[in-house]
Amino acid sequence: MEPSLSAAELDVRRFTHNDLPRIRQALIDVHADAYAEAMEDEFNQRFPWFVEHWGGHPDFACVIAFDGDEAVAFAYGAPSTPQREWWREHLDPAPTRSRTFSYSELAVRTKWRKTGTAELVTRALLEDRDEDLVVLLVDTGHPRVQALYEAWGFRKVGARQPFPDSPVYAVMLADLPLG
Ligand SMILES: CC(C)(COP(=O)(O)OP(=O)(O)OC[C@H]1O[C@@H](n2cnc3c(N)ncnc32)[C@H](O)[C@@H]1OP(=O)(O)O)[C@@H](O)C(=O)NCCC(=O)NCCS
């Protein structure tokens, strides 16, 4: 029997825009493992484009959890553009404290699911942000993932489909720091 895996044994490291060349492949590999059952979907195949897009942001922030040399999970995002935050069209009036971090992507290798690793990288990414809010998009067809975010303090404020071939996403918002 395999020994049980524990998130506590992982080495959590932080990366920025300048690190993109050396973390790009790790992000692509973890994503391919995490989405293995859904990689026939052309939208998921475009992930490398999204890595360039988000990693190209000068304030890109990324956390990767390593088991030895192997990247097993990541979380990344970047500050939202003021007035163009994903929540903006759904909240009237807008929150008074509205500086927002866009939490773009989270993925955990299948072997490391249900070990607390998703929460570990999420909290590590968000704990030293100085924005007021964090917003993310989650596929409305994945209610169990939405429930996970709700357990961490996010609430659904609307729905959007950013690209014609993307899923319809629930827009989820939380105050920072996370509770
Ligand atoms: C989302 C994720 C990080 C959560 O990891 P975790 O905390 O270890 O939790 P689990 O993997 O058990 O996922 C929680 C629940 O969501 C479900 N789920 C996870 N990813 C899913 C997906 N892509 N599609 C549909 N359901 C999914 C799981 O089956 C599980 O359901 P259950 O509680 O009924 O067993 C991990 O499942 C993952 O990397 N998924 C693929 C990538 C993804 O969907 N990222 C989120 C983008 S918003």
**Helices and strands (H, E) in the chain, number of each type:** 5, 7
Topology of domain 7-175, per CATH?
A: Aminopeptidase (3.40.630)
Q: Mutation test of ligand 1: which of 144, 149, 172 has the most ligand atoms closer than 8 Å to its C-beta? A: 144
In the chain, where the domains are located? 7-175
Distance in Å, CA 46 to ligand 1 centroid: 20
- Choose the weakest-confidence range: 2-11, 38-47, 169-178: 2-11
Residue nearest to atom 4 of ligand 1 (CA): 118
pTM: 0.95
18's tokens: 């300048």
The mean pLDDT of the chain is: 96
For the segment 6-20, the average pLDDT, to the nearest whole number, is 96
User: pLDDT tens for residues 116-166?
Assistant: 999 999 999 999 899 999 999 999 999 999 999 999 999 999 999 988 989
21: CB partners within 8 A, 6+ apart: none
83 CA to centre of ligand 1 in angstroms: 30
- What is the CB < 6 Å shell around ligand 1? 34-35, 106-108, 113-114, 118, 138, 142, 144-145, 148
Rounded to an integer, the average pLDDT of 53-79 is 98
In DSSP notation, 108-166 reads E-GGGTTTTHHHHHHHHHHHT---SEEEEEEETT-HHHHHHHHHTT-EEEEEE-SSTTS
**Amino acid present at 78:** A
Using CA atoms, how far residue 113 sits from 4, 13, 88, in Å, is 11, 19, 32
Residues 65, 44: Cα–Cα separation, whole Å = 22
Substitution candidate for ligand 1 out of 5, 40, 115, 148 with most atoms within 8 A of CB: 148
**Nearest ligand 1 atom, CA 35:** 41
User: Residue 120 has which token pair?
Assistant: 């570990």
> Burial code of 58-76, b = ≥16 C-beta within 10 A, e = fewer?
eebbbbbbebeeebbbbbb
| pLDDT given for residue 3 in this prediction | 66
